[in-house]
């Protein structure tokens, strides 16, 4: 095992700025999967479980979502919420039982609501309730992507080390080109965030700037 005195952030920038780093690249058609941008994880002034990395994250997610709609490409939002007993959280909900615990994000609670800053099209966009980390696990996401004939999955939301990473691994495992716009994902701690961006970039996804994703989307008008 290699050892280093560098921080996770320093290691990430070493990786991302390496000119020899290979990419999967963008494909012909993409889906935007916005993972759990709900108040439990976005309202830092209200909930201890919330976090913020880039203060413009919600703005970027809105801009991407609008561009996808203009192209007629699918926009997906996921959130987590559980029944009063918390039994539907399974083993994931057994390690702690405090007001901040995962299984205590109850149906119709404020913690389960999407962030008020988000522009969600309740007619065109697809909303999935999920119970586990990956947006693919026991949702209809896979069927949606087959129907829309997409080959690229662009992931935003949080957390980088949790549900974003799990979704990216499942996306790659299903044969999709997987893209993570750096400014559009967030985590509780800088170390977790950058360590997982590094791992994603090295193994499972292309970690790129949101500007690069917008450039790709703007090029679709020329086809």
Catalytic residue numbers read: 163
Q: What is the SS3 assignment for 138?
A: coil
Q: How far is the C-alpha of 67 from the C-alpha of 59, rounded, in Å?
A: 12
How far apart, in whole angstroms, are the C-alpha atoms of residue 156 and residue 164? 7
Q: Report DSSP letters for 74-133, one per residue.
A: -EEEEEE-B-TT-GGGGGGGSS--STTSGGG-BTTSGGGSBPTT----TTTSEEEEESSS
Contact between 116 and 151 under an 8 Å Cβ cutoff? The reply is no
- For the record, the structure tokens of 136 come out as 């693919």
């Amino acid at each position: 095992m290699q050892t280093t005195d560098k921080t996770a952030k320093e290691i990430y920038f070493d990786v991302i700025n390496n000119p020899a780093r290979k990419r999967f690249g963008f494909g012909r058609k993409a889906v935007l999967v916005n993972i759990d941008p709900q108040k439990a994880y976005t309202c830092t002034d209200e909930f201890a479980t919330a976090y913020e990395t880039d203060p413009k994250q919600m703005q970027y997610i809105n801009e991407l979502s609008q561009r996808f709609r203009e192209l007629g490409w699918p926009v997906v939002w996921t959130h987590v919420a559980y029944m009063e007993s918390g039994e539907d959280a399974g083993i994931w909900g057994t390690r702690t039982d405090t007001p901040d615990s995962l299984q205590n994000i109850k149906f119709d609670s404020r913690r389960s609501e999407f962030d008020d800053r988000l522009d969600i099209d309740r007619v065109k966009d697809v909303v999935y309730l999920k119970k586990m980390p990956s947006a693919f696990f026991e949702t209809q996401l896979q069927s949606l992507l087959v129907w829309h004939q997409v080959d690229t999955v662009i992931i935003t939301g949080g957390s980088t080390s949790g549900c974003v990473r799990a979704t990216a691994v499942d996306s790659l495992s299903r044969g999709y080109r997987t893209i993570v716009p750096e400014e559009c994902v967030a985590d509780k701690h800088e170390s977790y965030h950058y360590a997982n961006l590094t791992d994603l970039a090295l193994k499972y996804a292309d970690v790129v700037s949101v500007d690069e994703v917008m450039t790709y989307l703007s090029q679709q008008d020329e086809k």
